[in-house]
Structure 1
Amino acid sequence: MNSLSKFYGIYFLFKIEEVMTFRKSFVIFIMGPTACGKTSFAINLKKILPIEIISVDSGLIYRDMNIGTAKPTSFELLNVPHKLINIKDPTETYSVAEFFHDAKREVKNIQYRGNIPVFVGGTMLYYKVLLNGLKSSPKKSTKLRNSIINILKNKGTQYIYNFLKKKNSKLIKKVHPHDSYRLFRALELSILCKKSSLIENNMDINEKFLDNICQFALIPKNKHTLYNNIKIRLQTMLESGFEDEVKMILSKKNIHENLPSMRCVGYRQMYKYLTNKINYNQLVHEIMKATVFLAKRQMTWIRSWKSLYYLDSENKNLATDTLLTVLNKQQYI
């Protein structure tokens, strides 16, 4: 740890009450592409700052999905608890709206305890709703959702696509015929709203709750370093029992390939492998390809993001010092 990090560690150790008195309320975002080391970086940051971590990862919400999502270990979670991890079964869905309200509750509780909420993860849509607020949306119906799931299972995505194309050609232009999740949501909205104009106008910001956000992106200077990290992570997953993990999940009732949990990178491909749709070499290739694509997509989001401070994921000590310096200059600490 560099001198500045050591300084802040000592400073917070002995002057915590004084710091808490003068620090204005704020939150930290630590975003970045998959396999760049966001979780380990945040866990180490806990040694220096009075933070509590809120996960921003649509895969980590699921119980029993540990290896394929690179979830923090039980030991890590025991020592540094993460909010919004292990809150859903793989058979359940979890909307952006649910995340928004859960995050709002966690921020309130963390700040009440006098700590700093730190959002850590790579689900960029979650960050977007935190920044821009929650858009108005019709109330969901569990009965309707179950009906749509049955339609998907029995008649497939093409049937829903054709149905929506007749009902709302403007809306369906945004959806690929094989994108089961977007088709699911489009059909749900079209039924709930009844009129397409309500869907198209469903963009008004309804609610915000965050002020004083200091945003950081942990990224590698060299993309080849990131791709190598992805390759190593994939190898570790496969050697750590990822196949058995997915077999166990598939043994549960009501698990099928159209669930959001089974669309997570790695799980979608392993599902295909276990149902004899691809062989082992194709499995490895497809997971690697999908993960690299995910990282590229995350980087595209990050490059277009405003008000970001960049941290070098290949030099965690320097990244920590940079973060602390920014917080100090912004008079947060």
Structure 2
Amino acid sequence: MSTPHAMRPPTQAQTIDAIAIVGPTASGKTAAALALAQTLQAQGGAEIISVDSALVYRGMDIGTAKPTREELAAVPHHLIDTLDPLQSYSAAEFAKDATRLIRDIRARGKTPLLVGGTMLYLKALLEGLNDIPAADPEVRTQIQQQAESLGWPAMHALLTQVDPITAARLAPGDSQRIGRALEVWTSTGQTLSSFHQSAKAHAPDWHIPVISLEPADRAWLHQRIAQRFDQMMAQGFLDEVKRLKARGDLNPDLPSMRCVGYRQAWEGLDAGWPEAEIRERGIFATRQLAKRQITWLRSMPGRLVVAADAPDALTQVLQKVNELPL
């Protein structure tokens, strides 16, 4: 790998609030973040804020491809292992936590690195969120009953009629988010996307450049996803899910257990699928997640794109940072 240009002086680097490194699953975000953090040591150092809805959960290590102990020890990390899988965590909570962390890390003279692939979290931080109403248990129950009768693909079709913008970014089987969007519509008569749009008018004044790792060849990403899933299976992923099931207080409808891979493993263990079928379904679901993540990324015109499958991708990331108008 060629040697990147020297980073800009610390006094100029302080003019940004943070740097975001995003991309679809298995695109190399962790490696890029660690390389950047090492380079920033000369400027006071860096700390990583996880932008990942699965890494917040304790006991979910293998299936989330959580950074290793060595990686966690190399650079301070935040918003990893902060919740029990029984708990939930929202984009609004992330935006609040990340705002506090960015200010704290900056106060320590370090650069915050926002790293992950949960695009709704990043959107909430960068654009703000309006006062979306809290969950209404009665409306949620009604929608759940309707879904049990019609199926979630039909509910997705219904959402397409009332809120096509939100429906376009959700998979037909994403029951949690489809249900939430329909709940907002039923409770308020307003679309979830309209709340997000109006939030932009009150967006925080962040200076956070976004570096996006996007593969030029989708087949490269598919191969990486399959390799990662095989590695997780070899490391004992199914045993991890069995331990979570054995707790007795978790269920497959919780946000934690709906994370990609866990949902398929839980369902497969309940149904007695062979490991090969769990693997196939898990890889397919992860590919679908990556596809949705790339769609989100392409809606961010100001992002700085690096080809994740380029041999010098890490060097390009460092050069992008060096070239920022800091």
Question: Shorter chain as normaliser: what TM range?
Answer: 0.7 to 0.9
Alpha-carbon deviation of 1:79? 2.3
After TM superposition, list the pairs within 5 Å mapping 1:304-323 onto structure 2: 304-315=299-310, 318-323=312-317
1:132-183 residue CA offsets vs partner (Å, 9 max, x unmatched): 2112222457xx49x958995xx58326989x99xx9965885998643135
Where 2:223 maps in the other structure, the secondary structure is helix
Determine the structure 1 residue equivalent to 2:24: 33
Unaligned 5+ segments in structure 2 are: none
Where 1:72 maps in the other structure, the secondary structure is coil
Question: Which of the numbers 48, 55, 58 marks the counterpart of 1:53?
Answer: 48
| 2:291 aligned with 1:300 | no
Which has more radius of gyration?
Answer: 1
- Percent pairwise identity: 36
1:97-137 residue CA offsets vs partner (Å, 9 max, x unmatched): 11111111111111111111111111111222222211222
What is the rounded CA distance, in whole Å, between the counterparts of 1:178 and 1:288 in structure 2?
Answer: 16
Alpha-carbon deviation of 1:321? 3.6
| 2:2 aligned with 1:2 | yes
Q: Where do 4+ consecutive residues of structure 1 move more than 6 Å?
A: none
Q: Is the 8 A contact 1:161 1:172 kept in 2?
A: no
Determine the structure 2 residue equivalent to 1:246: 241
Q: Is the 8 A contact 1:20 1:114 kept in 2?
A: no
TM norm structure 1: 0.81
Determine the structure 2 residue equivalent to 1:157: 147
What is the rounded CA distance, in whole Å, between the counterparts of 1:140 and 1:214 in structure 2?
Answer: 33
Determine the structure 1 residue equivalent to 2:189: 196
Unaligned 5+ segments in structure 1 are: 12-17
What is the rounded CA distance, in whole Å, between the counterparts of 2:160 and 2:287 in structure 1?
Answer: 33
Instruction: Report the count of equivalent residues.
Output: 312
Q: 1:297 to 1:183 in 2, by over 3 A?
A: closer
After TM superposition, list the pairs within 5 Å mapping 1:1-333 onto structure 2: 1-4=1-4, 7-8=6-7, 19-20=10-11, 23-49=14-40, 50-139=45-134, 144=137, 157-158=147-148, 171=162, 174=167, 179-182=174-177, 184-186=179-181, 189=184, 193=187, 195-197=188-190, 202-203=195-196, 204-205=198-199, 207-276=202-271, 278-315=273-310, 318-332=312-326
What is the rounded CA distance, in whole Å, between the counterparts of 1:22 and 1:151 in structure 2?
Answer: 49
What is the rounded CA distance, in whole Å, between the counterparts of 1:22 and 1:262 in structure 2?
Answer: 39
What is the rounded CA distance, in whole Å, between the counterparts of 1:178 and 1:221 in structure 2?
Answer: 27
Where 1:275 maps in the other structure, the secondary structure is helix
One-letter code aligned to 1:217: S
One-letter code aligned to 1:269: Q
What is the rounded CA distance, in whole Å, between the counterparts of 2:304 and 2:238 in structure 1?
Answer: 38
One-letter code aligned to 2:57: Y
Q: Is the 8 A contact 1:4 1:321 kept in 2?
A: yes
1:181-221 residue CA offsets vs partner (Å, 9 max, x unmatched): 13542575468x4x425878644217533522211111233
Q: Is the 8 A contact 1:157 1:178 kept in 2?
A: no
What is the rounded CA distance, in whole Å, between the counterparts of 2:135 and 2:48 in structure 1?
Answer: 29
